[in-house]
């Protein structure tokens, strides 16, 4: 299916990108201001609160794929009742049948995923027998993936290098030891000798790997606060 | 939309009608910039973009700026720059062409040429923007999976250079507001003071005792600091070192002891009572 | 979700900086050594370098289900190369074939999900035609659209990257700072080093997130800018 076809399914007619369409589409924009808020206005928010539920009912053919899509986006096991509610005015027996077929389908084709009833709801998850590959994948992710504490610590080191642990503590206000360990493991930072002060603490700076991961030729390419001051207007 | 724009420019408000004014205001602000406005004026009068009647367009353009001013809409600098450009081109077109010398290239390039080029170029990106709009609409209708266990056990996001800067700015801001909070902070407890010293000792080989006293914000805290030191010395968790007579006193964590910051509630109460 | 909430999810308690929290963190320290933790010893470094990757190789029968499971787990489009790496010592052609079959299988059974190549990788997502049900379940509105100035600026950056702020001004004829700020915040553009010219201004380019949000495999999938000449007339 190409984009236009998809689009026709979503909003018939919008797919055409000719100039006249452009004009029509502009009506949707509230482009009065360069920095207008992208979100909802107070008015719209209110409207949303009283927004009647989207009234849609799934056709019989849609039942299986829609259930599948719902299980996929749900963050928690999805209770059967809730699935029924989303599907609209469909007999529960039909939903149950579609559900059973869906689950059986996953079993039959020996999918890497499975649908199971757990904690009072239905959930898609990977099958346990593939866990080794999944662990291997999680370990192989690029090093520029960081937890928030690690990202914060890296930011301080990047902009204040060379810097010692107590100095990082001073700036961040929280202890950063485990973050520093993580960053060292990911080779994003390196030691930079000792500071000639009481206790001669280690100093840290960013590594070559850091430059590679963040796509920088050298440290002078790091954006400075001044670079963004004009943008902040 | 074209309809609306035409109305906005053609029907200049004759009277000071507030409601109508607001109405115009909305419609007028549609233009994104001087090039957008020029393109609109060209399309409106079905002008050949390669042969723009510059005097006519300049007049319309200035009229529009005038209208904006009348309606108290601040005219952005970019619009004024274009106005100056238009007037310049207009004046150049009034000058007689320089005589062409034998064998030389014709130096009399059309003064409009650069502007036309810019308009044509801009127009392409304007059209491309609508393509991006459509694409985003389609993609917004697809959803990726909800959070699963591995997300929470490996809570890592991929970061860019901009994230580094953003995070760094946030930390600086946080540090600023933390200083303000300090003033209103409730009095520190013995447990907190012990924990503070322990933490500092965990990060540094030794601490200057005076430095710690300087951290105290009140007389009470000074006393607590003193008591905390006594406590730690008594429990042989730290040693106090003075390198020279009357010199600075340093607190050092004892090698073998892993300093336990835990102070139970009863002890804590006692200290408070002692005061 | 604000940062603190995020933080709480990541490392419960670390956001809070009260004394008791300090005590909790204390436990993490390996403070038997007099020196503060200052990175890894040479030994540890070596160990890290030779950290044995999980050595597993998928059998032929496992290829499809494992790929499916990996796509499910991945938070970002998964590059083909990375899939191969995780699968172990398997010929690329076999992986490609399994991949194709998997994708075709999703199409054939008219799944509610689809596997597509996007932003240089493969991704599972729901099909656009079910978006109403998903929105109903998630109680979400269609996400906020980009403003016209932001879209125009994005178009200029997409086609002219790497490009500086003054160059964007030249093309659009209007200052684009706040549009650029919006695009940076939405992670649609990234900095691309500095231009070696007066003032060394930052250059900008589109990000991976841009490819994802606009459904592109890579930049070459963009229609040529000259194609818009006719439309613009």
A167 pLDDT band, cuts 50/70/90, is very high
> In this model, does residue A136 exceed pLDDT 80?
yes
The pLDDT value given to residue B129 = 94
How is residue B1 annotated by DSSP? -
Interface touch C137/A73, C-beta < 8 Å: yes
Q: Does B155 touch chain A (CB under 8 A)?
A: yes
Is it the case that residue C215 has pLDDT exceeding 90?
Answer: yes
Please state whether the predicted TM-score (pTM) of the whole model is above 0.90: no
pLDDT 10s digits, B30-80: 688 899 999 999 988 899 999 999 999 999 999 988 887 777 666 778 889
Other beta carbons less than 10 A from residue B124's beta carbon: 22
Note the pLDDT of residue B54: 93
B156 pLDDT higher than 60: yes
Question: Quick one: closest CA in C to B153, which residue?
Answer: C10
CB B170 within 8 A of CB A148: no
DSSP conformation class of C144: P
C145 touches chain B (CB under 8 A): yes
Provide Rg for chain B, Cα atoms: 37
A194 pLDDT more than 50? yes
A70/chain B closest Cα distance in angstroms: 9
Contact across the interface for B137 and A14, Cβ inside 8 Å:
yes
B148 neighbourhood in chain C, CB within 8 Å: 72-73
Which subunits count as partners of chain B given 3+ CB pairs below 8 Å? A, C
Question: pLDDT tier at B235 (50, 70, 90 boundaries)?
Answer: confident
For chain C, how are helix, strand and coil distributed in percent, rounded to 5? 50, 10, 35
- Whether residues A171 and B148 touch (CB distance < 8 A) is answered with no
Q: What is the pLDDT of residue B215?
A: 72
Q: Which residue has the higher pLDDT, A157 or A1?
A: A157
Distance from CA of B79 to the nearest CA of C (A): 8
Residue of A198, A204, A218, A230 to mutate when probing chain B, most B C-beta within 10 A: A198
Instruction: Please give the pLDDT value at position B267.
Output: 39
Q: pLDDT tier at C93 (50, 70, 90 boundaries)?
A: very high
Record the tokens describing residue C49, joined without a space.
């370098």
Distance from CA of B78 to the nearest CA of C (A): 6
C124-140: average pLDDT? 92
Say whether residue C202 is in contact with chain B using an 8 A CB cutoff.
no
Tell me the chain B residues in contact with residue A211 when contact means C-beta distances shorter than 8 Å: none
In this prediction, residue B246 has a pLDDT band, given cuts at 50, 70 and 90, of low
pLDDT-derived band at A90 (thresholds 50, 70, 90) equals very high
pLDDT 10s digits, B196-229: 888 888 777 777 777 777 777 666 777 777 778 7
Average pLDDT, chain B: 75
Which two structure tokens, joined as six digits, stand for C200? 């060394």
pLDDT of residue A40: 43
pLDDT of C212 > 50? The answer is: yes
Give chain A positions within 8 Å (CB) of B150.
134, 138
Chain C positions touching B202 (Cβ under 8 A) are: 26, 29, 31, 36
Interface test with C, best of B43, B49, B75, B136 (most C CBs within 10 A): B136
Distance between CA C201 and CA C199 in Å, rounded? 6
Cβ atoms of B54 and B41 closer than 8 Å: no
d(CA C129, CA A153): 43
Helix/strand/coil percentages in chain A, nearest 5: 50, 10, 35
- Residue A232's pLDDT is 58
Q: Is A163 helix (H, G, I), strand (E, B) or coil?
A: strand
CB C39 to CB A180 under 8 A? yes
Give C18's contacts in chain B (Cβ within 8 Å). Answer: 192
Asked if B179 is an interface residue toward chain C (Cβ–Cβ < 8 A), one would say no
Pairing of strands B238-242, C113-118: unpaired
Nearest to B126 among C187, C212, C232 (CB): C232
Asked if the model's pLDDT at residue A76 lies above 70, the reply is yes
The residue-averaged pLDDT of B131-154 equals 87
| CB-based contact B127 A151, cutoff 8 Å | no
Share of chain B above pLDDT 70, in %: 69
Asked if C160 and C167 count as a contact pair (C-beta separation under 8 A), the reply is yes
To the nearest whole number, what is the mean pLDDT of chain A? 80
Question: Phi-psi bin for A226: left (phi > 0), alpha (psi -120 to 50), beta?
Answer: alpha
pLDDT one-digit tens code per residue, C166-182: 999 999 999 888 899 99
Confidence of residue B2 (pLDDT cuts 50, 70, 90): very low
Please check whether residue B189 touches C, CB under 8 A.
yes
Model pLDDT, residue B182: 52
CA–CA–CA angle A174, A179, A183 (5° rounding): 145
pLDDT above 70: residue B260: no
Percentage of chain A lying above the pLDDT 70 cut:
76
pLDDT single digits (tens) C35-84: 334 444 444 444 444 445 677 888 888 999 999 999 999 989 999 999 99
Average pLDDT, chain C: 80
What pLDDT does B197 receive?
82
pLDDT of amino acid B19 = 52
Chain A residue with Cα closest to B203: A166
Q: Please report the beta strands in chain A, taking only residues with DSSP state E, as ranges in sequence order.
A: 113-118, 121-126, 145-146, 163-164, 189-194, 202-206
Q: Would an 8 Å CB–CB cutoff place B122 in contact with chain C?
A: yes
pLDDT for residue A91 is more than 60: yes
DSSP letter, residue C58: -
* Chain C nearest CA to A172, separation (Å): 11
The percentage of chain A sitting over the pLDDT mark of 90, rounded to a whole number, equals: 55
Candidates C27, C33, C38, C214: best to mutate against A (most CBs of A within 10 A) is C38
Q: How far is A161 from chain C (nearest CA, A)?
A: 15
pLDDT, tens digit, 9 for 90 and up, residues B188-199: 777 888 888 888
Q: Does the distance separating the beta carbons of B161 and C154 come in below 8 Å? A: no
pLDDT at residue A205 tops 90: yes
- Which is more confidently placed, A104 or C19? A104
Residue B17 has pLDDT above 60, yes or no: no
B261 in contact with chain C, both atoms CB, cutoff 8 A: yes
pLDDT over 90 (residue C3): no
Residue A6, both tokens: 């998809």
Q: Does A69 touch chain C (CB under 8 A)?
A: yes
The size of chain A, in residues, is 233
Tell if the CB–CB gap between C151 and B129 is shorter than 8 Å. yes
Lowest mean pLDDT among A9-23, A168-182, B145-159, C207-221: A9-23
Residue B90 has pLDDT above 50, yes or no: yes
Q: Residue A108 is encoded by which pair of tokens?
A: 């039959």
> Is residue C86 pLDDT above 70, yes or no?
yes
pLDDT of res. A159: 94
């Amino acid at each position: 299916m190409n984009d236009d076809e998809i689009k026709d399914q979503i909003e018939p007619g919008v797919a055409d990108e000719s100039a006249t369409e452009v004009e029509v589409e502009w009506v949707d924009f509230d482009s009065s201001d360069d920095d207008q808020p992208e979100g909802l206005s107070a008015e719209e928010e209110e409207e949303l609160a009283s927004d009647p539920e989207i009234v849609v009912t799934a056709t019989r053919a849609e039942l299986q794929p829609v259930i599948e899509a719902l299980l996929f986006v749900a963050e928690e096991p999805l209770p059967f009742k809730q699935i029924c509610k989303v599907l609209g005015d469909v007999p529960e027996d039909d939903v149950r049948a579609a559900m059973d077929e869906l689950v059986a389908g996953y079993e039959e084709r020996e999918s890497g995923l499975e649908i199971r009833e757990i904690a009072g709801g239905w959930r898609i998850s990977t099958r346990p027998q593939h866990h080794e590959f999944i662990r291997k994948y999680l370990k192989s992710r690029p090093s520029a993936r960081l937890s928030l504490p690690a990202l914060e610590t890296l930011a301080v080191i990047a902009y204040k290098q060379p810097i010692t642990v107590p100095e990082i503590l001073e700036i961040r206000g929280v202890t950063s030891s485990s973050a520093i360990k993580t960053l060292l493991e990911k080779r994003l930072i390196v030691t930079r000798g000792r500071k000639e002060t009481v206790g001669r603490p280690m100093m840290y700076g960013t590594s070559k790997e850091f430059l590679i991961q963040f796509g920088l030729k050298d440290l002078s390419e790091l954006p400075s606060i001044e670079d963004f001051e004009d943008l902040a207007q | 939309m074209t309809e609306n724009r035409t109305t906005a420019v053609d029907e200049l408000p004759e009277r000071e009608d507030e409601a109508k004014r607001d109405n115009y205001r909305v419609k007028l602000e549609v233009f994104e910039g001087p090039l957008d406005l020029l393109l609109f004026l060209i399309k409106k009068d079905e002008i050949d973009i390669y042969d723009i009647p510059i005097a006519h367009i300049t007049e319309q353009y200035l009229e529009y700026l005038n209208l904006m001013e009348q309606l108290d809409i601040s005219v952005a600098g970019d619009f004024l720059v274009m106005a100056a450009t238009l007037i310049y081109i207009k004046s150049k077109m009034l000058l007689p062409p320089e005589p062409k010398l034998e064998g030389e290239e014709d130096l009399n390039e059309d003064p409009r040429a650069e502007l036309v080029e810019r308009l044509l170029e801009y127009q392409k990106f304007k059209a491309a923007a609508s393509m991006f709009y459509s694409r985003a609409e389609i993609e917004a209708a697809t959803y990726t999976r909800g959070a699963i266990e591995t997300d929470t056990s490996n809570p890592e996001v991929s970061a860019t250079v901009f994230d580094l800067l953003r995070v760094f700015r946030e930390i600086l801001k946080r540090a600023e507001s933390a200083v303000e909070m300090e003033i209103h902070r409730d009095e520190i407890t013995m447990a907190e003071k012990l924990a503070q010293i322990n933490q500092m000792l965990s990060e540094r080989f030794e601490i200057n005792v005076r430095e710690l006293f300087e951290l105290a914000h009140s007389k009470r805290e000074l006393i607590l600091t003193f008591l905390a030191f006594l406590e730690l010395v008594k429990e042989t968790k730290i040693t106090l070192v003075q390198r020279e007579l009357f010199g600075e006193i340093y607190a050092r964590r004892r090698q073998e002891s892993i300093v336990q910051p835990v102070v139970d509630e009863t002890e804590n109460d006692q200290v408070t009572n002692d005061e």
